[in-house]
Chains A and B, each alone.
Chain A
Amino acid sequence: MTPALPDILRGNFMSLAIPGPPEQQGEFMTGRVGVIALLSLLAAQEVERGTQARVWENAAIAAVLAEAADAYGVQYAEIAAIEAADLSLEALDRANAALRRGLIALHEAVEAAGDLLRHRMIVGLYGQMAEKRNLELPPLPAR
């Protein structure tokens, strides 16, 4: 996914470290700090769950692609065999991008074939993928 966690954290540093003009102090800077605080909170969640979510998603997509290869072509088995080089977020995301491209192509083929059972299974997978990646914003009080 983009932006990646290192982008966020480096960005937080940059947006605080670069001094703004006088008209961007006060209320604007207060608001900016509030957003950076939220980003930090979400970054903690990503550190806690991001690797696990990616490992799960990559395995889940690979399983769907591998299972569909007999009916839809060997190329899906080849994509399903893609693995991350290591457990860094960057490597997991690189593999995830290839697997997601495969899933998009497979879903298009499934829809074209009217393969309702597999279509429903893929839509169900989307729900799980989205939930695993979800970031929880706390119900902050209005100021």
Chain B
Amino acid sequence: MSDLKAGLEAYLSDLWGAPTSVSNLSRIPGGASRETYRLDADTGGVTRGMILRRDPPGSLIETDRRLEFLAYRTVHGHVPVPQAIALEADGGPLDRPFFLMERIDGGTVPSPFVFDPYGEHAAALGRQFFTTLGKLAALPHEGTPIRQVAEAPAPEDCWRIALDHWSGVIEADEQHPQPIVRAAIRWLRRHPPPPAQRVSIVHGDYRTGNFMHDGAGTILAILDWEMAHLGDPIEDLGWAFDPLWNHFDEGKVAGLIPPAEAVALWEAASGLTVDAKALAWWSLFNAVKGQAIWTSAAKEYRDGGFIDPILAISGWYTARRHDVILAKRLAQLEGI
């Protein structure tokens, strides 16, 4: 029996007050910032399908698993997500912090780097994807679980807080000078966006590859809430629109639907409007944020002994893609 299986059985037996056995424990590919496993937990003849999210020794991004856990709890019932079951911030018998969720079976999560993954269902999934994001922007968050750990910034401060954070990550983790992203950061500071129309729950990584669908046109779950925070909801729209996630189709966002349709759906669901200048600012910002994440991945790859290929491809291929995206956006914004 593996250490992980034994640790889970001990933890779940204690949690539910009854002997629990774990079977079909298997790590799922992806999940660069958390180790993700599926498992079946059997207690007294009742079997529950579960997902374990455990902190890795090295991670693509430094995030707070308590925040992710509380984000799931906050949006459950409003946005399609699995139910969060238990959080162990100290790691307990699994050595590293983790949390457990219910498992949603029967779905698929395509890689963001494949061609046309949604086929004939792209339009239907796109309508759900951007409507769901609009609903998240409209969701009241006062008194919800996420407010235990996430402060609400003033509307006029959202951009500065986000930019300070991610430019600080680049400053801390950069191993080779990056003139393009630094020029983009300076541009963003010189041209602040309008204040947020509403301070909302921001998913933080809302994109293709982070939702599960049933293969027949229905989204089953929005996943990976580890970068959730409160801020300007246009931030999520800018990230979802990033060309890195377009599945080789420049006419569609996230490989799903044309950008104008996505904006219209989001506006209808959120009750907010998308200011073109705000979207341009948050789009450039998101390319900076992406570059910060890839910069950290490169550092983690080195610090971790070069053994996680997900960190390698993040710190190498996607970093260079985002340099291209950043340079193009800067040239467009400067009228070059």
B316 contacts A1, C-beta separation under 8 Å: yes
Q: Which residues of A contact B182 (CB under 8 A)?
A: 104, 107
B273 at the A interface (CB under 8 A): no
Q: List the one stretch of A26-34, A70-78, A80-88 in contact with chain B.
A: A26-34
Q: Which residues of B contact A24 (CB under 8 A)?
A: 27
A132 to chain B, nearest CB (A): 10
B110 contacts A142, C-beta separation under 8 Å: yes
A63 at the B interface (CB under 8 A): no
Q: Give A79-137 interface residues, CB cut-off 8 Å to B.
A: 93, 96-97, 100-101, 103-104, 107-108, 111, 119-120, 122-124, 126-127, 129-131, 133-135, 137
| A35 and B309 contact, Cβ closer than 8 Å, known pairs A3-B298, A23-B25, A27-B26 | yes
* Nearest opposing residue in chain B for A12, CB measure: B309
B86 at the A interface (CB under 8 A): no
Number of residues from A at the complex interface, CB < 8 A: 56
A39 at the B interface (CB under 8 A): yes
| A129 and B327 contact, Cβ closer than 8 Å, known pairs A2-B175, A23-B25, A142-B111 | yes
Q: Which residues of A contact B312 (CB under 8 A)?
A: 3, 7-8, 11-12, 35, 39
B85 to chain A, nearest CB (A): 19
- Interface positions of A (Cβ within 8 A of B): 1-3, 7-8, 10-12, 14-15, 18, 21-24, 26-28, 30-32, 34-36, 38-39, 42, 93, 96-97, 100-101, 103-104, 107-108, 111, 119-120, 122-124, 126-127, 129-131, 133-135, 137, 139-143
CA of A126 to CA of B116 in the docked complex: distance in angstroms?
30
Q: Which of B26, B176, B324 is A134 in contact with, Cβ under 8 Å?
A: B324
A138 to chain B, nearest CB (A): 9
Question: A7-B302, A108-B186, A126-B331 are known contacts; what are 20 more A-B pairs with Cβ within 8 Å?
Answer: A2-B299, A7-B301, A11-B307, A32-B29, A35-B310, A38-B317, A39-B316, A100-B178, A123-B183, A123-B334, A124-B331, A126-B179, A126-B330, A127-B331, A129-B180, A129-B323, A130-B323, A134-B324, A140-B114, A141-B115
A120 contacts B336, C-beta separation under 8 Å: yes
Could you give, for residues 7-36 of chain B, a 1 whenever the CB lies within 8 Å of some chain A CB and a 0 otherwise? 000000000000000000111111000000
